[in-house]
Chain A
Amino acid sequence: MINLKQVTRTYGTKTAVDCLDLHIHRGELFACLGHNGAGKTTTIKMMVGLLQPTAGSVEIAGFDVVTESRQASLRSGYVPDEPYLYDKLSGREFLQFVAEMYGLPPDVASNSIEKQINDFGLAGFVDQLTECYSHGMKQRLVFASALLHDPELLIVDEPMVGLDPRSMRLVKDLLKTRVRKGGTVFMSTHTLAVAEEIADRIGVMSQGRIQFLGTVAELREQLSSDESLEQLFLTLTDEEPANFVS
């Protein structure tokens, strides 16, 4: 479903992603881990067409994101870490606009919008302007808009940031259900517990490269340790928690 071949992306002299080879299979929930600046968000931005690779290629569902960017984005849904909403539109109007952007016929769009409103519990506020929404409400609307066109691939950047425990539970259920039904999820997160709980495979990035690719069990095996994912992650990325208390 996702195919990154020898992908490199530079910012001036800094290499954010370095010769990355990554293949995510259909029906897989993949969690991308890494410290700040490891290259996770750059990788995601290349997948959704915001950035183009300096070298190599990125394919989504068989479509190159540079030469066939529209076809690729038609097959994916994206939930960014800082989503943009039109503050002078209501939630429903925003969903209608997104439906048109993805070329859904009017009847399909109407059914899909109602379904998402129901699935994400938007009914209570969907006709209010989005400028009045809380972070949680916005996040639910963004998830609904990303799934409106029923994409094969869902790309989620830091889905748990700012969510309360109940919303986190719901997001985890949503991602798992989506994968169970044959969809693919690529998730970037700092919440290691979530990755440990729901991901089929994890990839640990550091300095633009994949340091580890496999299941959590395989990571434990590799490091010969039974410790938590957090400790395994720190061992792998060679980072000790900063000592803020003197």
Chain B
Amino acid sequence: MATAEIQLEAPATKQLPTTGSESRAFWMLRARRLNTMTSHALRSMRVQLVSISFASLVMWVGLYILFQQGFQFIHTGLLHAGMRTQFVHAIFNVFFLALSVMLMFSSAIIMYGNLFKSEEVRFLLTTPSRPERIVIHKFHEAVFYSCWGFLLLGSPMLIAYGDTALSPWYYYVLLVPFMLAFVLIPAAIGAIACLLVVRLLPTVRLHALVILAGIVVVAGLFFGWNILAYQNRDLMTMNWFQDVLARLEYSEQRLLPSWWLSTGLLEAAHPAQSRTGRPAWLESFYFLAVLASNALLLQLVLATVANRCFRVSYSELQGVTRSQRNNRVSWIDRSVAFVCRPLPATLRMFVIKDLRLFRRDPMQWSQFAIFTSLLLLYFFNVRRFDYAGTLVQWVTVISFLNVAVVGLILSTFTTRFIFPMISLEGRRFWVLGTAPIKRDLVLWGKFWFACVGAIPPCSLLVLASDISLKIATRLPLVAVIHQVTCWMLCIGLAAMAVGLGARLPNLREPSPSKIAAGFGGTLNLVLSALYIMALVLLTAVPCFFWTETAWLTKINPEGSFIFGGTIGLGTPGAVMVGVSLMLLLAAAATIVPLRIGIRAFRRLEF
């Protein structure tokens, strides 16, 4: 380093960057980082990229087929075209409205971490960047992280609908701008709420967001109960459809972005049924313009709020003192210590340590709490499929689908929280690595922590579903199989997250959400989904044919039902084989990733 020759510039000549150059700098920053990450992935992670692309494609196609079959079912069940469109409109309204609420909270929570806990923001605040530019920069990052699930779930559904409704080409072209414009609205509302909560209630900040989310979930439970508390047993009849439509009217408020989105999309999907007489594409474009202009307006509002309160909020938040922890062991820790008594003392301490870190960071568990509450809402209402109704034959299928849904929610939990744990441990490895313990214990600690955390709530959720569907009383063996499947799901998903987390760690990234959104996390999510599908199918298919043999015989009196008649799928033996295969698969999904993870972790250099 040579001694710098300094020619200090006259102060008067210094110019602040223009808005344009500032904006360009941030876009260049993103482009360069993206370019570096892409080229790095293409250079050194080709096999992983191909495998993950393939798995994602399989998942996307699976979802597409599922949605396509669903829309086809509605198509054949409701012959009146106007009624059908109206019904789909109602479904879209509710779907997008629910999504708006989730995106809003997801964005608010991510923005809190992005703005007030980020080292990048701390650096940017010391430069002459405008605070609104910093907030918009982090907002776009939050939109990306909070909406990828929407794109993964939404795109197969909307494309499947377009195919079923034989929609014109411009329906498909308009999908992307519609989805992007829509996502920005709830995300911006969430970001504005985050800034205002931190500004106005700095001492309660994240807790306030979580409590607000809780209130919304309770309100959702109330509305959901009100809508689905429906005693008509003639499901899928015209009366039933009309009744459901009447109950879903709340989602048809003309001021809701979800209504603009669903109406705009349906206008494009059904050019022959335009409501106004104007060309359908023009009408659709009109709704797109409404969505886009509102999205941009909200971004402007966000920038204005950021300009007024971000710097002062950031400063005030640093001044909030944290409450002192008392030295007593909490009842949660005592309970976990009691449950984990069979484990060695060191392992037990690892589990308790991870539990403490987890529960003291509301960022970690708030989104999971929202998902679980939504799931409870669904389970409380699933009892409407009464055994005396016309859809009794679907009860077993629905009960297994509920197990799969619990598994899918759990997989988001294991990917978001368990997978990044090993990577995060890397920064603290100076204490673990120098302690006189075997490295394997660290992984076993994570594994047991995940199992202890996952099994009780998942098992209870599945039990709630079985009680609602009266499976527990009418088909107790199926209820037992559900519980076994659920436990195997918990154990297998925990092992996969821990094993892959150790095999594909990201020791440089301090943010768990970014670790989860990376390659390893995505791979874990995709493999988890495949595992859940395989595990549930192995037990669901034989159980379905076994429990529904009577019904199958009724609809096919000749008794020549192909599976039951030729390969014995409707027999108890088939159920036994299915359960055995499920247990084998679960054992493989637990042992293989853990072995790979332990081997990698032993070799890992911190």
Contact = CB atoms under 8 A, between A and B. Distances in A.
Interface of A: 9-14, 45, 48-52, 54, 61, 69-71, 73-75, 78, 80, 82-84, 86-89, 93, 96-98, 100-103, 115-116, 118-121, 129, 131, 140, 147, 149-150, 152, 167, 170, 173-174, 177-178, 181-183
Nearest to A73: B128
Contact of B36 (A89, A167, A170): A89
A73 B1 contact: no
A73 B126 contact: yes
A177 B18 CA distance: 32
Interface in B1-50: 1-9, 11, 14-18, 21-22, 24-25, 28-29, 32-33, 36-37
A50 B372 CA distance: 38
A78 B125 CA distance: 11
B243 interface: no
B320 A12 contact: yes
Interface stretch (B309-317, B350-358, B413-421, B590-598): B309-317
Nearest to B316: A52
Contact of B130 (A52, A70, A152): A70
B19 to A, nearest CB: 11
B440 interface: no
Interface stretch (B116-124, B218-226, B463-471): B116-124
A54 B319 contact: yes
B566 interface: no
A70 B5 CA distance: 26
Contacts of A149: 14
Contacts of A88: 32-33, 36-37
Contacts of B124: 101
Given A11-B321, A74-B128, A101-B129, 8 more contacts: A71-B128, A74-B16, A84-B122, A101-B22, A103-B14, A103-B21, A174-B4, A181-B7
A100 B314 contact: no
Contact of B311 (A69, A82, A170): A69
Nearest to B121: A84
A103 B29 contact: no
Nearest to B37: A88
A110 B479 CA distance: 70
A94 B508 CA distance: 18
Contacts of A52: 311-312, 315-316
Contacts of A69: 311
A26 to B, nearest CB: 10
Contact of A101 (B25, B33, B321): B25
Contacts of A73: 126-128
A150 B13 CA distance: 12
B34 to A, nearest CB: 9
B276 interface: no
A37 B381 CA distance: 56
B318 interface: yes
Contacts of B33: 86, 88-89
B8 A152 contact: yes
Interface residues of B, number: 46
B222 to A, nearest CB: 38
6 contacts: A50-B314, A75-B14, A96-B28, A102-B127, A103-B18, A170-B3
Contacts of B129: 70, 101
Contacts of B5: 119, 177
Contacts of B28: 96-97, 100
A120 B1 contact: yes
- The 6 tightest CB contacts between A and B, nearest first, are A12-B321, A103-B17, A100-B25, A84-B123, A181-B6, A52-B315
B2 A100 contact: no
A233 B122 CA distance: 31
A182 B8 contact: yes
Nearest to A85: B123
A41 B559 CA distance: 83
A48 B128 CA distance: 10
Given A70-B130, A73-B127, A100-B22, A174 B3 contact: yes
B119 A84 contact: yes
B11 A152 contact: yes
Given A10-B319, A88-B37, A89-B36, A103 B128 contact: yes
A84 B4 CA distance: 23
A172 to B, nearest CB: 10
Given A100-B22, A103-B21, A49 B1 contact: no
Nearest to B131: A69
Given A11-B319, A70-B128, A101-B22, A174 B8 contact: no
A76 to B, nearest CB: 9
Contacts of B311: 49, 52, 69
Contacts of A177: 3-6
Contacts of A140: 1
B128 A102 contact: yes
Contacts of B126: 48-50, 73, 78, 80
Most chain B beta carbons < 10 A, residue from A54, A69, A131, A140: A69
